[in-house]
Amino acid sequence: MNRMILSILICLLTINGYSQHGVKFLEGDLQSALNVAKQQKKMVFVDVYTSWCGPCRWMSEEVLQTPEAAKYFDKYFVCFKVDAEKGEGVAFADKYDVHAYPTFLMILPDGTLRHKIVGADTLHIFIPRVERGLKEKTSWGYFMKKYSDGTLQKKEIPMAVDVFRDAGMKEEVKNLTDSLFGLLSPKEKLAPRYWV
């Protein structure tokens, strides 16, 4: 019975997708989105917004409503929106530590946060930020675990800085750049790969 309901939901989403040009956002709750993502072997892309946020509105109405955005996001994700100040969105924002808007989360079907991006961008800048989350070893979750464990290697720090900067983590970015500076030889301090 549950499979039949899920199949009908997917068909309705597909039909609904043909009537709009932009990214298709699933209606309902997060668990429904996670179930669909599990069935389709995708991640859930969550747009966490507020009603008063101008950059949120711009991302939703302009950037994510293009055919290019639809083609990209519909290929890799089940997309879902959450108002962080209404209903279940308050608990959701608390659970995933969302404090700035818009915040975009990439969540695995088991509910694990894989990647986090804070802020609005044009599509050609935004997609490369999202692509980091498609691969485990360039994702926020990967670098956050290594940062928390104290196991980040010197060569990983520049990418971790970029990922944490995208996630709006100013304190962690400062800590990483300070520690990196102390680890570098005078010659390495001149190497472009360490110019973070």
Strand 43-49 and strand 103-107: the pairing is antiparallel
Rounded CA-CA distance 54/60 in Å is 10
Please count the other Cβ atoms lying within 10 Å of the Cβ belonging to residue 63.
21
Q: Which amino acid is it at 98?
A: V
Per-residue pLDDT of the chain (196 residues; tens, 9 = 90+): 555 555 555 555 544 444 458 999 998 899 999 999 999 999 999 999 999 999 999 999 999 999 999 999 999 999 999 999 999 999 999 999 999 999 999 999 999 999 999 999 999 999 999 999 999 999 999 999 999 999 999 899 999 999 999 999 999 999 999 888 888 888 887 888 777 6
- Establish whether 11 is a catalytic residue: no
Check 13, 34, 43, 56 and give the catalytic one: 56
Q: Under 8 Å CB-to-CB from 81, ≥6 apart: which residues?
A: 25, 46, 47, 48, 49, 60
Check 34, 44, 48, 53 and give the catalytic one: 53
Closest CA to 101 of 58, 64, 56: 56
Per-residue pLDDT, 71: 95
104 phi and psi angles, rounded to 5 deg = -115, 130
- Establish whether 56 is a catalytic residue: yes
Among all chains, which residue has been given the structure tokens 């509105």?
57
**Alpha helix positions (H), 19-66:** 30-40, 54-61
Please count the other Cβ atoms lying within 10 Å of the Cβ belonging to residue 40.
12
Q: What count of Cα atoms within 13 Å lies in the side-chain half-sphere of residue 14? A: 9
